[in-house]
Homo-oligomer: A and B are copies of this chain.
Amino acid sequence: MFREILEGIVERVGGGIGAVLMGYDGIAIDHFFKPCEEIDLQLAAVEYANVLKDIRNIVEILNTGEMEEVSIRTGRYFVIIRAVTAEYFVALTLEQNGNFGKGRYLLQREAQSLREGLL
């Protein structure tokens, strides 16, 4: 069920490469990656999980409300990360020319379905 949601996001977003539903402990629940990509998205998600934990702590210290979304643009990719529950997040990787706005929208919309599946 999670895989279908992740695949739907990657296929519909435009320029989608992969998506993963993962815990802040770096352990993935499920993922969908398009074949033959150069970067190790699983490894990337684990690394970003550590950074997310730091950001979440900072957000708590600063008392600026809960962390909802983090996006990272590098020379080659966009990564959009959205909190699903207190323990889990979903990360979507796009090509640089991918549809960033649609990615944010789809993650926001599907976070609810993912959340329901986790409960």
Residues in chain A within 8 A of chain B (CB atoms): 39-40, 43-44, 47-48, 50-51, 54-55, 58-59, 61-77, 101
Query: How many angstroms from the CA of A43 to the CA of B59 in the assembled complex?
Result: 11
Contacts of A51 in B (CB 8 A): 51, 54-55, 58
A75 touches B70 (CB 8 A): no
Partner of A74, one of B40, B59, B75, B101: B59
A80 and chain B: residue at smallest CB distance: B71
Complex Cα spacing A119 to B25, Å: 41
Contact B70 A44, beta carbon cutoff 8 Å: no
Rounded to whole Å, the gap between the CB of A40 and the closest CB of chain B is: 7
- Give A17 to B57 CA distance when docked, in angstroms: 22
| A65 surroundings in chain B (CB, below 8 A) | 74-77
Partner of A55, one of B58, B64, B72, B77: B72
